[in-house]
Amino acid sequence: MEVNAMLVQQLADLARLEFSEQEKKEIQGDLQRMITFVEKLNELDTTHVKPLLHLTADRNVLREDTVVPSITREEGLKNAPAANDQYFQVPKVIKK
């Protein structure tokens, strides 16, 4: 696939980006190198290669989801600078 100035401009328009002429030339070269690399990968014989689903053999490395005791509301509010019997009290930040 050939990357030309019109393709670079079309991609820039779709991405709503603006580039100088120098930047467009650099991007055109970069895109051409990327496409050449991908085309080179297509030349490989992958008929006996299984698709890679996971990068490691680990399946689930997360801990079990178990219920553990927590602190009570009173303990949580005990060290609050301002609180009533149920909630933290904070300064008003939204003014109408």
Nearest to 75 by CA among 64, 63, 83: 83
Q: Each residue of 27-42: pLDDT tens digit?
A: 999 999 999 999 998 8
Count of Cβ atoms closer than 10 Å to residue 7 Cβ: 15
Residue 85, pLDDT score = 82
> Would you say residue 17 lies in a domain?
yes
> Would you say residue 46 lies in a domain?
no
Domain count, the chain: 1
Distances (CA, A) of 81 to 7, 43, 88: 61, 67, 8
Q: Each residue of 18-73: pLDDT tens digit?
A: 999 999 999 999 999 999 999 998 898 988 988 888 788 777 778 888 898 898 88
Q: What CATH number is given to the structural domain containing 17?
A: 1.10.20
Range of the domain at 32: 5-41
Q: Which two tokens stand for residue 15?
A: 């991405």
Residue 10, pLDDT score = 95
Q: Which two tokens stand for residue 6?
A: 């019109």
